[in-house]
Structure 1
């Protein structure tokens, strides 16, 4: 087979598209800067974003440069089984909203760490802030490197120069606009991403002979017989049942703790608006990700049909557009990929700003004036961006899998703290700190990226954090619950009456307090038993 790599036919077209996009981003940032006058504006856009705009922004924050590159590469390699990964990721925001998002929206929280501080105290909040900031840096790092590579191709510059240019330009408009700018820029970026993903695929599918070219996300079914003829194993379930089950603790439980996703729920203008935002999110993300799956499907079909092997699978959609579409269309798709990377960095850096400027400073300097906290928030945002650029010069060797690996870390160290804190009044502060810190460290140790001789699982399941999460997520839930029972029995940091009343309030009960509500024993015991079964299963040889 002939190896094919991406080369943009006209560099100037790509440059023009990117310049126009940046001009729009900076205009929105400038407009948003004038509206940002308080901490609520900086971190939560004044709790004023409507459902459609927030649904678009949720989709853009959830998606990333990986949607145009790494995700399609995974589809190209994993083929049909990738659908199961996508389902788990796509569940994150609906579950986040249902399980705790609207509850924390009633608190007018800036980040999930704001809830942790109120629920468990300052020490617990610091532990969670550390885990979340680590995850956000890893997340933003992948986007920054991808943007540097995109600008390297567009401008013909050495990677390091391209990285500095795009990094500084990106940090500039994000810092300028705060959460108002991040929200409306992300909404615009999602529109660009959907158009760039879906519309050019119509021409590609038509050229491939599909009669469903008019709606690529769902109408490529008539290509299935041809795919089965060219690649008979494309739709095979290639892995055993445990592989698919392991996606749940790693890729469902992890993303629901992502602070930049939770912050999108918190910016909603009301509880009703937050719920409707999820409906719009599902629609918009469905269009984008169904389009991404179509691109992966078409990439396999393209290779089998033409004999052109795609040398770098993360270039699949770019190569298809260069091969089948005019240069201006290929340039616009590059612009869509750039918008995807920026939308995620928007969310990542705003989350770090909220965690440091809002949550951590609220602990370390509770009497600091709001205006001064805002300045520290802007500073934290800018410094986080600079750190990300510096790390991108020499990224860790496991960068390709770092984002997905970070999901397992959040599922282990953060998700139990939030979910049990919201739904179980007996969740104990000391138990939370011990289980979060200990199980998070265990997850890092048993990954293949730190101590190569101590690994649970092997190959892809280990590299993506799937096998590690299969062990540490149930361990974290079980240890948290068991230690809570023990410490509460010993009257060691047992939840106070005010802690319990707060749980009822965030669920919408107001002053109608009921001691028995969210205070049962059966649910946590059942959860411990289920966790023990999953833990034992995860410890078996992979």
Structure 2
């Protein structure tokens, strides 16, 4: 008999959800009273401290998938999933080290703010379009998850649950702006961590673990028993290229995620941004290792009881219904909702910043601050409505769309940001050509648009890993080579970086007005990088 999620008293679950939304709206209302300028709305006045920001980063990164889809993938991939997860997790520290603190010095609202200062209007429009597409895909996945969760809790049809969940969610996020998104995300991370770890302690104790008192790390005594039940659980199941492909697809993609970068930008100082990463690592480490324990326990539960988990993405919910009281099971559902809400908040704030500040700054550069804020609210609400409408009939590849979007982002935006921050030779026309061409190629060679044209097969193609092995190194190599060529063609001198463009780089790295032409201006290292990228590109084209 398959195990399914069902609360014995649905009103307990409804009560937990209502209580959480009351808190979210309360925080949003208090935050709205502090929002008076575009800096307040888009960057929380650059005033968020390291602990709050660390919690907010972790919450925005975690998403509803941490409680649902991620555990389903652990059920399928088992140990190899740990490697995939590590690539996601290190993207925030890399983001901060590679460009986050540099752009914090220029008080950027989004990465596209830097793109405009460094490359100009045409490049900004292209990058904003790619980022908005990816943010809508990201928010769409969370919105569908919320609709499913409300469907389970309230016992109503999916469409009705989606409308209720969507409107309630977009309402408190729109009300609070970045202040509300930051403080709500911090609270949501606390709820998530408690909901994941504490109930799992009771579950592990019931399963016979002596390390139940700290589930994230102390379940090792169950390993021999697990190997008896599932001998292949810890096996390395794929070849080296599969693991290497995680780097371009799942490390370089999230590095450019605007809603994660915006967390760094809201910091009260560069030092605060760096310390926020330390707190992020601690908080996310607790949550993610707790999530892996839930996947471990789900496999063990099936092996011991013989009961298949009907819907793998409900594993942690089913385990709590089976082993814990109704109130605890309902609280875990509340934690899952908090995970989805925190990510949607970040997604919608990113859309608001990209459209309301970056795109509008090109269309109407002299718009006053209050009107920018007003348009930011409009863009935020419209992004939420778009996600709700798309969620009624979601794309068939939704399960993998968020991960696939990482590969698209790494192809189209990551080279623009990283090379723009660290290399003065980066050329705006080279950026537009490489971003557009390689972005289109990534879409074409994925299995989701033109199934007959695909690099790789199965999960490696669906997740964007095989496509990323082709287009991401190609994008970096094309950008570097074209920049070197175009900068030396007098006919294309209008696209070459100007002296002011180059000064931007020195300033964001903390050199102030002490400009030096040779700093960040060599071509030897970029050429070496492009050669390595071309080698990876050829390797990625080989049959999978």
Mark yes or no: TM-score above 0.5: yes
* Pair 1:89-2:88 in alignment: yes
Match of 1:200 in 2: 199
Q: What are the residue-to-residue correspondences of 1:80-159 with 2, within 5 Å?
A: 80-159=79-158
User: What is the DSSP-based 3-state SS (H/G/I as helix, E as strand, rest coil) of the residue aligned with 1:254?
Assistant: helix
Q: What are the residue-to-residue correspondences of 1:387-426 with 2, within 5 Å?
A: 387-426=386-425
CA–CA separation in structure 2 for the residues paired with 1:316 and 1:121: 48
CA–CA separation in structure 2 for the residues paired with 1:120 and 1:385: 29
| 1:415-444 Cα shifts (integer Å, max 9, x gaps) | 000000000000000000100011001100
Misfit runs of 4+, over 6 Å: none
Match of 2:66 in 1: 67
CA–CA separation in structure 2 for the residues paired with 1:41 and 1:157: 38
Alignment RMSD (CA, Å):
0.5
Match of 1:484 in 2: 483
CA–CA separation in structure 1 for the residues paired with 2:332 and 2:437: 44
CA–CA separation in structure 2 for the residues paired with 1:304 and 1:342: 33
Match of 2:12 in 1: 13
CA–CA separation in structure 1 for the residues paired with 2:3 and 2:26: 38
* Pair 1:30-2:29 in alignment: yes
Choose the corresponding residue for 2:529, options 527, 530, 534.
Answer: 527
Choose the corresponding residue for 1:511, options 505, 513, 533.
Answer: 513
Match of 1:385 in 2: 384
Question: Shift of residue 208 of structure 1?
Answer: 0.4
Match of 2:499 in 1: 497
| 1:24-78 Cα shifts (integer Å, max 9, x gaps) | 0000000000000000000000000000000000000001000000001101110
Q: Which runs of 5+ in 2 are unaligned?
A: none
CA–CA separation in structure 2 for the residues paired with 1:508 and 1:211: 51
Deviates more, 1:177-186 or 1:6-15: 6-15
CA–CA separation in structure 1 for the residues paired with 2:462 and 2:76: 15
CA–CA separation in structure 2 for the residues paired with 1:102 and 1:145: 34
CA–CA separation in structure 2 for the residues paired with 1:17 and 1:181: 20
| 1:177-224 Cα shifts (integer Å, max 9, x gaps) | 000000000000000000000000000000000000000000000000
Match of 2:169 in 1: 170
Question: Shift of residue 256 of structure 1?
Answer: 0.5
Aligned residue-pair number: 541
* Pair 1:227-2:229 in alignment: no
CA–CA separation in structure 1 for the residues paired with 2:516 and 2:225: 62
Question: Shift of residue 10 of structure 1?
Answer: 1.4
CA–CA separation in structure 1 for the residues paired with 2:485 and 2:191: 53
CA–CA separation in structure 2 for the residues paired with 1:182 and 1:389: 19
Question: Shift of residue 168 of structure 1?
Answer: 0.4
CA–CA separation in structure 2 for the residues paired with 1:154 and 1:3: 19
| 1:451-503 Cα shifts (integer Å, max 9, x gaps) | 11110000001000000000000000000001001110004211111111110
Match of 2:272 in 1: 273
Match of 2:331 in 1: 332
CA–CA separation in structure 1 for the residues paired with 2:271 and 2:13: 41
Match of 1:237 in 2: 236
CA–CA separation in structure 2 for the residues paired with 1:312 and 1:129: 37
Match of 1:318 in 2: 317
CA–CA separation in structure 2 for the residues paired with 1:387 and 1:135: 13
* Pair 1:539-2:535 in alignment: no
Deviates more, 1:521-530 or 1:400-409: 521-530
CA–CA separation in structure 2 for the residues paired with 1:508 and 1:368: 29
Question: Shift of residue 6 of structure 1?
Answer: 1.1
* Pair 1:474-2:473 in alignment: yes
* Pair 1:445-2:447 in alignment: no
| 1:347-383 Cα shifts (integer Å, max 9, x gaps) | 0000000000010000000011111111111011011
CA–CA separation in structure 2 for the residues paired with 1:333 and 1:90: 23
Question: Shift of residue 135 of structure 1?
Answer: 0.3
Question: Shift of residue 311 of structure 1?
Answer: 1.3
CA–CA separation in structure 2 for the residues paired with 1:497 and 1:481: 19
Query: TM-score by structure 1 length?
Result: 0.99
CA–CA separation in structure 2 for the residues paired with 1:398 and 1:10: 34
Question: Shift of residue 522 of structure 1?
Answer: 1.4
Q: What are the residue-to-residue correspondences of 1:255-266 with 2, within 5 Å?
A: 255-266=254-265
CA–CA separation in structure 2 for the residues paired with 1:90 and 1:336: 20
Q: Which runs of 5+ in 1 are unaligned?
A: none
Question: Shift of residue 136 of structure 1?
Answer: 0.2
| 1:136-191 Cα shifts (integer Å, max 9, x gaps) | 00000000000000000111111001100010000000000000000000000000
Match of 1:363 in 2: 362
Question: Shift of residue 5 of structure 1?
Answer: 1.4
User: What is the DSSP-based 3-state SS (H/G/I as helix, E as strand, rest coil) of the residue aligned with 1:395?
Assistant: coil
CA–CA separation in structure 2 for the residues paired with 1:449 and 1:280: 37
User: What is the DSSP-based 3-state SS (H/G/I as helix, E as strand, rest coil) of the residue aligned with 2:477?
Assistant: helix
CA–CA separation in structure 1 for the residues paired with 2:427 and 2:207: 59
